[in-house]
Amino acid sequence: MSNLQPIPLPPTRRIVGALPKLRRVGMLSYMIHHWQTHGDISAMKLGPRQMALLSHPDYVHQVLVKNQLNYQKGTNYDKLRLLLGNGLVTSEYELWRGQRRIMQPSFTPKNTLGFADMMVKVMEKILVRWETMADTNTPLDMQAEMMRLTMSIIGEAMFSVDLSADEHQGIGRAFGHGFEHITDNTGRIFIPPPSWPTPRNRRFKRTLETLDSFIGEQIAHGRRHPNQPNLLNMLLSAQDEETGKGMDDKQLRDEVMTLFFAGFETTARTLGWAYYLLTQNPEAYAKMHAEVDEVLQGARPTVAALYQLPYTRMVADETLRLYPATGILARQAIAEDEIGGYHMPAGMIVAFSPHILHRHPDFWPNPEAFMPERFAPEKVAAMHKCAYIPFSTGPRVCIGNNFALLEIVVVLAMVAQKYEWRFPRQEVGAELHGTTRPEKPLYMTLHRR
Ligand code: HEM
C-alpha cells in the first residue's frame, strides 16, 4: 500500500498550519473552501496533526461501513470525554458494543413512539405560553426558544421532569454551559489542561459538579420510583442480553449526560433551521400547513396521524440535508488503508462534513435550493446510501434518530395547527459551534393562523 500516493496536502504555514485561519473564518467555512479548492479528498494541517477531509459518499462508506473497525473515534473525542465520560458517543470497542446492545431496545421505532404522547403534552403547554407573544407581536429568539422546547422534551423523556420550569433553570444553564465549554475549544492553538486552575477550568468544574449532583439525584429517584415510564428507568432496568449485566451508576451517569448532549441541542438547531427555511420558502410553508390542516383537522395528533404527514416529514429531511446539526464527524485510522486510490496512513485523522456531502453536486441537483420533494420515497430509494448522513451511518449511526424525527414532526405539525412564524427574506450564514447554528440570532414573530 505504501506505493500509493499520499493524500494531497496543500502548502500551509509550517508549524500552526491552518489553525489561525480556521479560528478566523470558522471551521465550516474553512472546510467548504478547502473542499471547493482541493476536491473530494485532501489533507489539511492543524497544528502538529494532519486531517484528511473526505467529501465523497464512497469514502464515507469505506470509513463508516465497510472498514469501520479500522476507524475509531480516538483522541478526536478527548475533549468531549471531559463532559460525557465514556457514554455511547465517546466509548469504543467492547464497552461501546455492550452499551449499544443494552441501550438499543429503548430506542426501537416502537419504543420511541411511546414518547409521542409526552411530546404532544409538552407542546400543548408551549403553544399556550406562546399566545401572549403572538398577541403582542413580540419577536422570539428562535434558537433560544427551540433550545427551551427540546430541553423540556428531553427532560420529560429522560426523568419525567420539566427542565424549563423556573426551579430547574440552573440545570438548564449548566447543561448549556457544559456544552459551550467543550465546543469553544475548537480551533484553539493552546488549551490549558483541565487540571490547571484557570477561571475557565474552575467554572467548568463547578458546572460538572452541578450536573453530576443533579443526575445522581435523578438516578436515586429513579431507583425509588421504577414505574415512571421514562428513559432513565428503561436504562436502569436494561440488561445486556448476552451477559445479563446492567449498568453501574457511573456508566448510567455517562449515558444520561450523553443522551442529553446528543439529543437536545441537535434537535433544537434542526427546528430553528426548519423555520428559517420555511419562512424563506412560503410555498413549501403553505404546503405543509395544508397537509397538517387536512390530516389533523384541528385535532390533537395521534401516532397514526403522525404517519400521515409525509410532506411535513420531507421538510424535516430536507432541513437535515441543508443544515445537518452535526456539521463534522471525525475518526482516526488505526492501520493504514486505501481511500480513493490514495494511501491513508495509520494514525491519520479523517473527517467528513455532512454539510458538504449534502451539497455535493454529483448527488444533489441544485444543492442550495430547499426542495422537500427530493425526499419522496421513490427518490430516497434511488439515492447513494451514503450521500445523506445527518445521523451518520454504519454501526455507530445515531441511536436517537427515530426519537429526533418524531419530535421534529410533532413540533412542526402542532405549531402549524395554531401559528405561523414570520421572518424577513434574507440570507443567513451557518457556522459550526459544536452544532451547526445560524451566524446570528434569528428573531421571528409568531402569528395566529
Ligand atoms: C436532529 C437531531 C439529531 C442529529 C442531527 C443527530 C446526529 C447524530 C450523529 C451524526 C451521530 C454520530 C456521531 C459520531 O459518530 O461522531 C449521532 C450519534 C448519537 N446520537 Fe444523535 N442526533 C440527533 C438526535 C439525537 C437524539 C434525540 C438522541 C437521544 C435521545 C441522540 C443520541 C445519540 C447517541 C447516543 C449517539 C452515539 C451513538 C453511538 O455511537 O453508538 N441523538 N447523532
> How far, in Å, from the CA of 263 to the mean position of ligand 1?
7
Residue 102 alpha carbon to ligand 1 centre in Å: 16
Q: Is 331 helix (H, G, I), strand (E, B) or coil?
A: strand
Give the closest residue to 355 by CA, choosing from 388, 394, 399, 317: 388
> Which atom of ligand 1 lies at the shortest distance from residue 64's CA?
15
Give me ligand 1 centre to Cα 408, in Å: 14
DSSP, res 425: S
Residue with cell 489553525: 19
C-alpha–C-alpha distance, residues 282 and 224, integer Å: 50
Helices (H), 39-168: 57-60, 78-84, 93-103, 109-113, 116-135, 142-159
CB atoms near residue 437 (< 10 Å): 23
Phi, psi of 314 (to 5 degrees): -65, -30
As a whole number of angstroms, the distance between CA 111 and CA 115 comes to 8
Q: Is 103 helix (H, G, I), strand (E, B) or coil?
A: helix
Residue whose CA is at the smallest distance from ligand 1 atom 26: 263
Do residues 186 and 197 make contact, with C-beta atoms less than 8 angstroms apart?
Answer: no
At residue 216, the 3 state secondary structure works out as helix
Could you identify the atom of ligand 1 that is nearest to the CA of residue 326? 10
Q: State whether the beta carbon of 400 lies less than 6 angstroms from ligand 1.
A: yes
Domain total of the chain: 1
- HSE-CB at 23 with a 13 A cutoff on CA atoms is 13
CATH number of the domain within which 145 lies: 1.10.630.10
Per-residue pLDDT of the chain (449 residues; tens, 9 = 90+): 768 999 998 887 776 677 777 778 788 999 999 999 999 999 998 887 889 999 999 999 999 999 999 999 988 788 889 999 999 999 999 999 999 999 999 999 999 999 999 999 999 999 999 999 999 999 999 999 999 999 999 999 999 998 878 888 888 889 888 888 887 765 566 778 888 888 888 999 999 999 999 999 999 999 998 888 899 999 999 988 888 889 999 999 999 999 988 989 999 999 999 999 999 999 999 999 999 999 999 999 999 999 999 999 999 999 999 999 999 999 999 999 999 999 999 999 999 999 999 999 999 999 999 999 999 999 999 999 999 999 999 999 999 999 999 999 999 999 999 999 999 999 999 999 889 999 999 999 999 99
The ligand 1 atom at the shortest distance from the C-alpha of residue 103 is 35
How many angstroms does the Cα of residue 448 sit away from the middle of ligand 1?
34
d(CA 81, CA 151): 21
**Ligand 1 center–CA 62 separation, angstroms:** 20
Among the atoms of ligand 1, which is closest to the Cα of residue 89? 37
Segments forming the whole domain that contains residue 183: 5-448
Look at residue 67 and give its three-state secondary structure.
coil
- If you measure from the C-alpha of residue 267 to the centroid of ligand 1, how many angstroms do you get, rounded to a whole number? 10
